[in-house]
Amino acid sequence: MRRPLCSSLPRPACLQKMIDLHAHILPGMDDGAPSLEASLEMARLAVESGVKAMAATPHCGLPDGDGPDAGQVRTAAARLGRALERAGIPLRLYAGMEIFGTAQTAQRLREGTLIPLAGSRYPLIEFPFEGYARQATQILEAVLRLGMQPIVAHPERYRYAQADPQLLNEWVDMGCLLQINRGSLLGRFGPREETLAHRLVGRGFAAFVASDAHTPVVRTPWLRDVWALLCREYSEETARLLLEENPARVLGNRAMDMDEPEWFD
Ligand SMILES: [Fe+2]
């Protein structure tokens, strides 16, 4: 008798449709995977939890000039992609960056020394956790003027967004997209992060949930638990939107189709 594939695993793992847009999986490139072995272990975990594709997003564009450039990231992603194939791990890997937002970010994106996710028009941009609201808004405006649509990495972790969520009204109204961390929704970063993460999902501000994985042990790329949490506390439609459909639009460089959120007042 033919044995059904993944018969013992819950649905998302069988469907293998989730897409993780934020993961520090490239070996030895930043504070993420320290070795090829760790990268492969992270990829195995991701696949086992139901992830079919991932953007490799090392920290780049740091103010001290540290961090890899576009060529190094593309080369490392291609090399890891080949290693995944050799190891028989069915994870499609795309080159990306988690860009540290500075006054030079827009110019460096225009020059191509910084790159968006998977060759799309969607760059993933992070900001310092404190005291950066005005600078962040100016940087996002400059990136939008390039015709790109910035994805703000984990806004729920920024103190100024926690203190004044109306800032996120402004960013979303400008055309920015918000990526929430799995760990924030699960309460791993603390109550303030957890509260804002849930408000952003509940009010329709969140466009994506991603792992922001750093290792195969803590802050892992396991997404099945957050899929279950989204299904349980919101709806399966929400889980599908944030972990499958919206990320697929980014990988395909297709337009986003976000409903208007319930604005903060
Ligand atoms: Fe990150």
Per-residue model confidence as pLDDT tens digits over 108-156 = 999 999 999 999 999 999 999 999 999 999 999 999 999 999 999 999 9
Please tell me the distance between residue 5's alpha carbon and the centre of ligand 1 in angstroms. 33
- Our separate counts of H helices and E strands in the chain read 12, 9
- Helix-helix angle 70-87:36-49, to 10 degrees: 70
For the domain that residue 193 is a member of, what is the CATH number? 3.20.20.140
How far, in Å, from the CA of 56 to the mean position of ligand 1? 10
Q: Is the pLDDT of residue 76 over 90?
A: yes
- How many Å lie between the centroid of ligand 1 and the Cα of residue 2? 42
In which band, very low, low, confident or very high, does the pLDDT at 14 lie, cut at 50, 70 and 90? very low
**23 in a structural domain:** yes
90 C-alpha to ligand 1 centroid (Å): 23
* Residue 79 belongs to some domain of the structure: yes
Query: Is 6 a residue whose pLDDT tops 50?
Result: no
- Is residue 199 included in any domain, yes or no? yes
Q: What is the mean pLDDT of residues 225-233?
A: 97
| CA 125 – ligand 1 centroid, Å | 9
- Which residue type does 216 have? P
Q: What is the mean pLDDT of residues 71-75?
A: 97
Q: What pTM value is reported for the model?
A: 0.94
Instruction: State residue 66's pLDDT score.
Output: 75
| CA–centroid distance, residue 14 to ligand 1 (Å) | 27
pLDDT recorded at residue 63:
85
- pLDDT band at 204, cuts 50/70/90? very high
* pLDDT for 176: 98
Residue 247 has pLDDT above 60, yes or no: yes
Mean pLDDT value across the chain? 94
Measured in Å, residue 23 CA sits from the centre of ligand 1 at 6
| pLDDT score of 9 | 44
Model pLDDT for residues 252-265, shown as the tens digit of each residue: 999 999 999 999 99
d(CA 259, CA 265): 18
Burial (0-12, 13-18, 19+ Cβ within 10 Å), 187: middle
What's the gap in Å between 159 CA and the centre of ligand 1?
17
Over residues 36-54, mean pLDDT? 97
What is the model's pLDDT at position 15? 58
Residue 263, domain member (yes or no): no
Distance 1 CA to ligand 1 centre (A): 45
Residue 256 lies in a domain: no
Confidence band, pLDDT 50/70/90 cuts, at residue 65: confident
Span 166-184, pLDDT tens digits? 999 999 999 999 999 999 9
Residue 10 has pLDDT above 80, yes or no: no
User: Which residues span the domain enclosing 106?
Assistant: 14-251
Each residue's pLDDT tens digit, 77-107: 999 999 999 999 999 999 999 999 999 999 9
Domain assignment present for residue 236? The answer is yes
Question: In angstroms, what is the span from residue 211 Cα to ligand 1's centroid?
Answer: 8
221 occurs within a structural domain: yes
Say if 260 falls within a structural domain: no
Confidence band of 64 (pLDDT split at 50, 70, 90): confident
Note every long-range contact of 34-39, with CB atoms under 8 Å and residues 24 or more positions apart, other chains counting: 34/215, 36/80, 36/83, 38/215, 38/216, 39/80, 39/83
How many structural domains comprise the chain?
A: 1
